[in-house]
């Protein structure tokens, strides 16, 4: 199994997503979105930007 996004509606009625690793562990959790389309845009943003995002080491 590979990493995957899970899109769901929370108990408050907002749309959220988790990015899960191959072992099923949640490695990223989104904010709440008022529409499914907005949550899907958030997923697409991560897909297109994460590979090239720099790491800011604040330690």
At residue 49, the pLDDT reads 94
Q: Give domain status of residue 56, yes or no.
A: no
Mean pLDDT, 10 residues at a time, over the chain (59 residues)? 95 98 97 98 95 94
Please give the model's pTM, rounded to 2 decimal places: 0.86
Q: What is the pLDDT of residue 36?
A: 98
Is the residue at 27 inside a domain?
yes
pLDDT at 46 (0 to 100): 95
On whether residue 57 sits in a domain, the answer given is no
Domain extent, residue 27, equals 4-48
Vertex 36: Cα angle to 27 and 14 (nearest 5): 75
Cα–Cα dist 44/26, whole Å: 18
């Amino acid at each position: 199994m590979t990493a995957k996004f899970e899109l769901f509606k929370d108990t408050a009625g907002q749309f959220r997503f988790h990015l899960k690793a191959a072992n099923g562990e949640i490695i990223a959790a989104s904010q709440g979105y008022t529409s499914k389309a907005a949550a899907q845009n958030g997923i697409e943003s991560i897909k297109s930007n994460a590979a090239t995002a720099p790491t800011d080491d604040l330690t």
